[in-house]
Amino acid sequence: MSRRKPLEKTYIDVNVLYYYLTASEDYGEKSKDYISSYSGRLVTSALTVWLLHVLTKLENLTSILEEIGIRLVPLTAEILFEAERLKKPKDLEDRIHLSTMNYLGIKRIISNDHDFDLPGVERVF
């Protein structure tokens, strides 16, 4: 009898969720497909909720993310300190996402942001 390896977690970037929530003409369907394919294995930072609120003005984002199978993880001081020390990606927001991934041992991100094309990171989109 073989043991099944647990499914790996995948980080989901703000842009993919924004495309999904706004039904982007260019990327909405692609985002929906990724969310569906990875549902139950998706993780994102609490920072994502705030960024999406700023972009969309939606106030029920936590419920929406839970409904579509995305687990929220806290943004901690430890994650912020690591993000400040990282050299890449260029933007602090992206370094926070990468630091969160590192903290959780996640190697894959769903994002159309090429700033995540880094050694040790598998970017899909």
pLDDT of residue 1: 45
Domain boundaries, the chain: 10-124
pLDDT digits (tens, 9 = 90+) for 25-65: 999 999 999 999 999 999 999 999 999 999 999 999 999 99
- pTM (global) more than 0.85: yes
- Residues 65, 20 contacting (CB under 8 angstroms): no
In sequence order, the 6+-apart residues with CB closer than 8 A to the CB of 10 are: 38, 41, 42, 43, 106, 108, 109, 110, 124
Q: Is the dihedral of CA 106, 96, 39, 113 positive or negative?
A: negative
Q: Which residues contact 58 (CB under 8 A, 6 or more apart)?
A: 21, 52, 64
Q: Hey, what are 7's tokens?
A: 């499914």
Superfamily of segment(s) 10-124:
5'-nuclease (3.40.50.1010)
The per-residue pLDDT for 6 is: 56
Q: What is the pLDDT of residues 66-99, one digit of tens each?
A: 999 999 999 999 999 999 999 999 999 999 999 9
Evaluate if residue 5 carries a pLDDT over 50.
Answer: no
Q: How many CB atoms lie within 10 A of CB 121?
A: 18
